[in-house]
Structure 1
Amino acid sequence: MATTSYLDLNRCSRPLPPSLSSLSACPCRPSAVTLPRSRAKLGGLDFSIDVARPVVGLGPTRGFLGRHRRRLIAAVARADPDHLPDGNAKQVLGVHKGHELSVNEDAVAENQEKASQLKKRIVFGLGIGLSIGIVVLAGGWVFTTVVAAAVFVGAREYFELVRSRGITAGMTPPPRYVSRVCSVICALMPLLTLYRGQIDVSVTSAAFLVAMALHLQRGNPRFAQLSSTMFGLFYCGYLPCFWVKLRCGLAAPALNTGIGASWPILLGGQAQWTVGLVATLISFSSIIAADTYAFMGGKAFGRTPLTSVSPKKTWEGTIAGLCGCIATTVVLSKIFCWPKSLLSAIAFGILNFFGSVFGDLTESMIKRDAGVKDSGSLIPGHGGILDRVDSYIFTGALAYSFVKTFLPLYGV
């Protein structure tokens, strides 16, 4: 229980009301206001306010009452308004109404800000989606260059997260020059994948050079430096290369796709529609559907938390995302006539969904340890590159393995 008898009702430059004019000769000085004893609860505390004797009010910035006087006065007015003197009641209730008006204004401003952020998120999301669709259709060097640029920015964001205060409290980050070199190496990996087809030797050589640089640095090298750097090469460089292998490496024509037959010659004709293009479009679309349905399902029905790594995700939203992902994959498989069987389309949708979910959770885990909400601020309303592509990082490798290995083996 907290008790007090200090109320500051009249520290301002305006004259006092007539009912309180006798309490102070100067309107700019703290005045003594006589109020009866009253009790009120504020923030879980039970206040016994005894203002039966006049006391000099505290200033607006002193102590607990200085910081919370509006809420405290409003609580007194609500607790026992009948016992307040007329003049004091008017002043107290006036303060209470002013406080409610301020709260309402803050709520309106907050809602407007949220609406603005949502509008910005939708506009930029549509713009990004349209641009990515054009890039995927173009393929070749256009697609690979965009992937390389995204990989470079994502690698920079990753190493900034590794160097953040939240993570460095428990580990030693790699030197800054190593982080920058690794970002450049990650950006070169998609280009080498397009040129050579395979990057195993390149990745192994890069890992060896980075490990050697860490061992030769000044001071004592730490295992945390090596592990975080190697994971950065794998997470930001190696895994995204599978999208290049999927889109550009699987060049067999999708003969059964009806869209290819009517595709303009100037845009590549039927040869433009390869298995890699169809698989990439279906995979991208199913990931977007999974995120959208999971968000809508979580908002509408979400009750059970999925994991502590991402508290906003729920089981209900996850199930909705899985159903939306499978449905989108099946519908697109009918449109593109690939894959042929319903079973393979469902399997492809499930694979895309789990790849997107665990990619999202992995990035959430990194951000949680770093103590940040977003990986960056490059995209207005969306955060950083990693915040937008986290669902795609693991999915490319899974989709490529499915199309390259699973479908030919089992013929489904």
Structure 2
Amino acid sequence: MTDASGEPPGDGQPVPEVPLTRRDAADARRAPVPAESPALQSHIRAARSEFESQVAHARAEFEEANERIKARTGRDLIVATLIGLAAGAILIASLIFFKWLFLVFALAAVGMGVFEFSRALTASGRRIDLVPQLISGAVIVVSAYFFDLWLHWVVVFVAIAFVVVWRLVAQMASRDGRTYGAVLGDVLITGFIQLYVPFLASLCVVLLVQEGGEWWVLAFIAVAVASDTGAYAAGVAFGRHPMAPRISPKKTWEGFGGAVLAAVIVGVLLALFLLGLDWWMGAVFGLVILGTATAGDLGESMIKRDLGIKDMSSWLPGHGGVLDRLDSILPSTAAALALFYLFTPLVAS
């Protein structure tokens, strides 16, 4: 058979392709896929088994390390980290975008802190009036945002007097024969709750409403968190010598050294790139906040030890209660506000 040129097909000449019919294409699609060879299947199963084994081994090692850290520090590392990141994101967003949103954040934290503290004191035998405590605490925090500083001080005084008078009237109405010493202790602790939680938190709000105050709030909280993180990491890695075994047996001098290093570094960086301060001001800022944060941490540990409890509550898994996370931040508010009034005129001059 020859083509049009008289030459047989092939012999160096291309053979014209015959298009597939629809039936041929359908048959090609339905054609069975060649099965994988047994050797290839065995190799895939072995690789998958090896990968699953490595994942399980890594998970077991991580859980073992996490349990050792939890036994040493009393924290669940994974849960604590996730909650800390979530709270930090909310805090940063409220400071950067809407100052009033931080006020809501502060009100919620103060309310939960007052509730935790009041409940712990009540369990220890003290008489605490929860509703007046919550009302007074909210009024103190809100007044710091809307009122001038001198008027805010007046509100603080009136709020403390309100809860004290309420406790005295409630005690007289009860007529339960409570001793004079117990009543006096209840009154003093009633006022102390307002000073410790709402008042110190309100100083943070006072700093917030200043010009550029949101960056100062972010800075001092960042230093407090950095010092706590540095102490935690250094304590886990190198902690050998207890710092205050009768108050907080898990704190070590090695952890305190890590806190000092972290606080100074973060303080200097924030001073230079966020607050517009000199580097030495940043170092002072970091050390002062470290001092107040450490004092607040040890102070709350002493209170909990006196009450016979480990945490104020279990609302924040891996952290304890809200007040357990605010223990280092609350005393630092006064230091941060004082440093703001001290350093701002020096930079402006």
Q: TM-score range with shorter-chain normalisation?
A: 0.7 to 0.9
Name the SS of the counterpart of 2:249 in structure 1.
strand
> What's the offset of the Cα at 1:407?
4.6
Q: Aligned residue for 1:71?
A: none
> What's the offset of the Cα at 1:410?
9.2
Q: Is there any run of 5+ residues in structure 2 with no aligned partner, and where?
A: 1-59, 71-75
Match of 2:130 among 176, 179, 196: 179
**Rounded Cα–Cα distance in structure 1 between residues aligned with 2:285 and 2:77:** 31
Report the residue type matching 2:127 in the other structure: P
> What's the offset of the Cα at 1:337?
5.4
> What's the offset of the Cα at 1:238?
0.5
**Rounded Cα–Cα distance in structure 1 between residues aligned with 2:273 and 2:204:** 22
Q: Aligned residue for 1:152?
A: 111
Cα 1:329–1:112 change in 2 (3 A) is closer
**Rounded Cα–Cα distance in structure 1 between residues aligned with 2:251 and 2:139:** 35
Name the SS of the counterpart of 1:380 in structure 2.
coil
Q: Aligned residue for 2:268?
A: 330
**Rounded Cα–Cα distance in structure 2 between residues aligned with 1:317 and 1:282:** 22
**Rounded Cα–Cα distance in structure 1 between residues aligned with 2:97 and 2:301:** 32
**Rounded Cα–Cα distance in structure 2 between residues aligned with 1:113 and 1:304:** 22
Paired residues for 1:230-241 under 5 Å: 230-241=191-202
Match of 1:344 among 278, 281, 289: 281
Match of 2:94 among 120, 128, 135: 135
> What's the offset of the Cα at 1:200?
1.0
Report the residue type matching 1:316 in the other structure: E
Report the residue type matching 1:287 in the other structure: A
Name the SS of the counterpart of 2:329 in structure 1.
coil
CA contact (8 A) 1:121 1:382 kept: yes
CA contact (8 A) 1:305 1:313 kept: yes
Cα 1:349–1:135 change in 2 (3 A) is same
**Rounded Cα–Cα distance in structure 1 between residues aligned with 2:98 and 2:257:** 33
> What's the offset of the Cα at 1:203?
1.4
Match of 1:226 among 187, 191, 196: 187
Q: Is 1:365–2:302 an aligned residue pair?
A: yes
Residue by residue over 1:193-234, the C-alpha shift from the partner in whole angstroms, topping out at 9 and shown as x without a partner, is: 111133211111122222222222223461110111111010
Paired residues for 1:156-167 under 5 Å: 156-165=115-124
Q: Aligned residue for 2:336?
A: 399
> What's the offset of the Cα at 1:118?
2.3
Q: Is 1:188–2:125 an aligned residue pair?
A: no
Provide the identity percentage. Answer: 29
Residue by residue over 1:332-374, the C-alpha shift from the partner in whole angstroms, topping out at 9 and shown as x without a partner, is: 22222521x2221111111111111111111111111121111
**Rounded Cα–Cα distance in structure 1 between residues aligned with 2:107 and 2:237:** 37
Q: Aligned residue for 1:281?
A: 218
CA contact (8 A) 2:141 2:205 kept: yes
Q: Aligned residue for 2:11?
A: none
Name the SS of the counterpart of 1:312 in structure 2.
strand
Name the SS of the counterpart of 1:240 in structure 2.
helix
Q: Aligned residue for 2:78?
A: 119
Name the SS of the counterpart of 2:330 in structure 1.
coil
**Rounded Cα–Cα distance in structure 1 between residues aligned with 2:262 and 2:65:** 30
Q: Aligned residue for 2:10?
A: none
CA contact (8 A) 2:269 2:282 kept: no
**Rounded Cα–Cα distance in structure 2 between residues aligned with 1:310 and 1:380:** 20
Paired residues for 1:13-412 under 5 Å: 111=64, 114=67, 117-165=76-124, 168=125, 173-175=126-128, 178-198=129-149, 199-216=152-169, 217=171, 218-219=174-175, 220=178, 222-248=183-209, 250-251=210-211, 274=212, 276-307=213-244, 308-336=246-274, 338-339=276-277, 341-405=278-342, 407-408=344-345
**Rounded Cα–Cα distance in structure 1 between residues aligned with 2:285 and 2:66:** 39
CA contact (8 A) 2:281 2:343 kept: no
Report the residue type matching 2:193 in the other structure: G
> What's the offset of the Cα at 1:158?
0.7
Q: 297-306 or 209-218: which moved more?
A: 209-218
Q: Is there any run of 5+ residues in structure 1 with no aligned partner, and where?
A: 1-106, 252-273
> What's the offset of the Cα at 1:380?
2.1
Q: Aligned residue for 2:35?
A: none
- TM normalised by structure 2 equals 0.72
Relative contact order, higher structure (CA 8 A, sep 6+): 2
**Rounded Cα–Cα distance in structure 1 between residues aligned with 2:83 and 2:343:** 36
Greater per-residue helix proportion: 2
**Rounded Cα–Cα distance in structure 2 between residues aligned with 1:349 and 1:188:** 31
Name the SS of the counterpart of 1:311 in structure 2.
strand
- RMSD of aligned alpha carbons: 2.5
> What's the offset of the Cα at 1:311?
0.7
